[in-house]
Structure 1
Amino acid sequence: MSWHFTEDPAVFRDVVHDRLAADPARNTTLLGMLETTGPRGWWGEHGDVGGAFVVGAPAGVLLLGVMPDAAARAPAAEPLWDGGEVTEVRGESRTVEAYARATGRSWRTTRRLRLFRLGELTPPHPAPPGAPRVAGPGDVPLALTWMREFARDVGEDPDADYTANVEARVKEGRLHLWEVDGRAVAMASVSRLVAGQARVSPVCTPPAHRARGYGGAVTSAVSRSALDGGAAQVLLFTDVANPTSNALHQRLGYRPIGDHSSVALD
């Protein structure tokens, strides 16, 4: 088997969709990027696809799907797209580390994530004060502010332009707020439904409103919305270093199914 490369999303989708959809939970990140632009590739021959990758934003971030170690090691010594160099790798921990070791470069793990899948949804009891509602166009400025705060908290670029992202979530009814006395105190969103799976992200509670149960409540509300929208699997990532978040989501009914890593190549 060998690697094949393209920057055409339609070509990539036609080749890899069935492979990714066969294990939608473990491939949730790539499934959410099928329509984005940028370099991408697959490992295989004659329709037998054994793995896939997408280069995300910012440039140089390599997102690896489920694949054998041999596939992860194969492209590590050569550029994966014209003029590009991999600076960060993300994916299942074993796959990411196989790639990083094969580069011969020094590397360090910058973040460890745990992927959870919803079993039986168990809303917080007792529920905190307030109620959920679907965000509307007038909530876009607030959601943008909170999106930037979320990006900063998880190590992404808070100065990136999230306008189109937020507007699409609001337009499609995928962004929910938790309100207390008419004031939004937390938000959560869910991805589009692809291959039967939807992923909850981001979940944001400003510091002034934390430790009151709002984050868990709005996560429960958006999870219910995803189920009602037809999701067979509802997923989310948590930071392994955050025991509070991990415990909260397990109380809501989420169960761990695998560990992911982000690795910086020096």
Structure 2
Amino acid sequence: MHPDSWQFTDDLDGFLARADGFLRSRPAAHTVPLTVTDTLRRRGLHYYGRDAPLFGTLAADDGTVAAALVHTPPYGLCLTPVTARQADALADRLADLGRRPAEVSAERESAAAFARAWQRRAGVRAGVRMRQRLYRLDGLIPPAPVPDGRPRVAGPADRELLVRWFEEFADAVGEGPVRDGGAWADARLSYGGVTLWEAADGTPLAMAGATREIAGQVRVAPVYTPAGLRRRGYAGAVTAEVSRAARDAGAAEVLLFTDLANPTSNGLYQRLGYRGVADFTVWAFAG
């Protein structure tokens, strides 16, 4: 694989003209680049940060797209499945361009292949920051018993709460310093993308977000319950509600990611009817 087989651009429209069909060919496996590029198209190229994003495609021998990447600094690379040889070529090209990704996120084998290649090419240290599992909703199994309370789609009056809860969630998963809670809340409120589980008196107890539908799939994220309200069934109830709403709205696939280090959340989503699709890994780089 010649390094020049990887081509890069900062032109989102040009990238999508080239790669959109490839990304939509496997919407579950490509859920993150699909939703990230959709968000950039709707909210602007600097939604995720001050620096311009980079988009990349790998040309197959017949000229079609064999792999793709999205890099939205300060976040890491989001990479579709690649072989070890393709990862080596990618590391060489990114180093030549002067890119210094802080992380890579991809299916397990692809992430490991790029991490090894980047260590070699850039002389950095690499370590696993998170192991994740992508789940797909099979048949929704509502929680039983359903906890006290009711679901409600969040509105503009909830913005301050959403910002605070999102920043707490981001801090818990190691993304706190780079996440803008206000921008996230505004984007989600623009299409009713957060559902709250609230008590009978209207007190919010938990939240679950959902991406816009793209390529027939919706991804549930994030799911958050404040520490003092956990283990009461609120997360399961609100996740079941956004999953049902996505299906009712016509989504062919409803997806979510879990941290494999959290057996509670993995067990919860399986009880709701989610089944594992693939394992992903986030590798972090230093030095």
| TM-score normalised by the chain length of structure 1 | 0.95
Q: Which residue of 2 aligns with 1:87?
A: 102
User: Aligned match of 1:25 in 18, 28, 32?
Assistant: 28
* Residue 54 to residue 123, structure 1, CA distance change in 2 (3 Å): same
Quote the offset at 1:47 in angstroms.
4.1
Please state if 1:191 is matched with 2:211: yes
Quote the offset at 1:83 in angstroms.
4.0
Which segments of 5 or more consecutive residues in structure 2 lack a partner in the other structure? 46-52
Question: What whole-Å deviation, never above 9, does each CA across 1:65-89 have from its counterpart, x for those lacking one?
Answer: 1333332221113426844212211
Q: Which residue of 1 aligns with 2:8?
A: 5
User: Aligned match of 2:245 in 225, 235, 239?
Assistant: 225
Q: Which residue of 1 aligns with 2:220?
A: 200
Aligned runs of 1:29-48 on 2, under 5 Å?
29-35=32-38, 36=40, 37=45, 38-45=53-60, 47-48=63-64
Structure 1 or 2: more helix by fraction: 2
Q: Which residue of 1 aligns with 2:49?
A: none
Secondary structure of the corresponding residue to residue 58 of structure 1: coil
| TM-score normalised by the chain length of structure 2 | 0.88
Cα distance between partner residues in 2 of 1:250 and 1:141:
32
Cα distance between partner residues in 2 of 1:47 and 1:215:
46
* Residue 162 to residue 202, structure 1, CA distance change in 2 (3 Å): same
Please state if 1:56 is matched with 2:75: no
* Residue 149 to residue 158, structure 1, CA distance change in 2 (3 Å): farther
* Residue 14 to residue 219, structure 1, CA distance change in 2 (3 Å): same
Secondary structure of the corresponding residue to residue 177 of structure 1: strand
Cα distance between partner residues in 2 of 1:78 and 1:206:
43
Would the aligned equivalents of 1:50 and 1:68 in 2 still touch at CA under 8 Å?
no
Quote the offset at 1:110 in angstroms.
1.0
Would the aligned equivalents of 2:6 and 2:93 in 1 still touch at CA under 8 Å?
no
Instruction: Answer with 161-170 or 251-260: which moved more.
Output: 161-170
Cα distance between partner residues in 2 of 1:91 and 1:68:
12
Q: Which residue of 1 aligns with 2:87?
A: 72
AA matched with 1:92:
E
Cα distance between partner residues in 1 of 2:273 and 2:65:
33
Which segments of 5 or more consecutive residues in structure 1 lack a partner in the other structure? none
Secondary structure of the corresponding residue to residue 152 of structure 1: helix
Cα distance between partner residues in 2 of 1:189 and 1:233:
16
* Residue 140 to residue 80, structure 1, CA distance change in 2 (3 Å): farther
The Cα RMSD (Å) is 1.6
Please state if 1:147 is matched with 2:166: yes
Cα distance between partner residues in 1 of 2:209 and 2:137:
15
Q: Which residue of 1 aligns with 2:50?
A: none
Cα distance between partner residues in 2 of 1:71 and 1:82:
17
Quote the offset at 1:21 in angstroms.
0.7
Cα distance between partner residues in 1 of 2:96 and 2:256:
30
Cα distance between partner residues in 2 of 1:228 and 1:51:
32
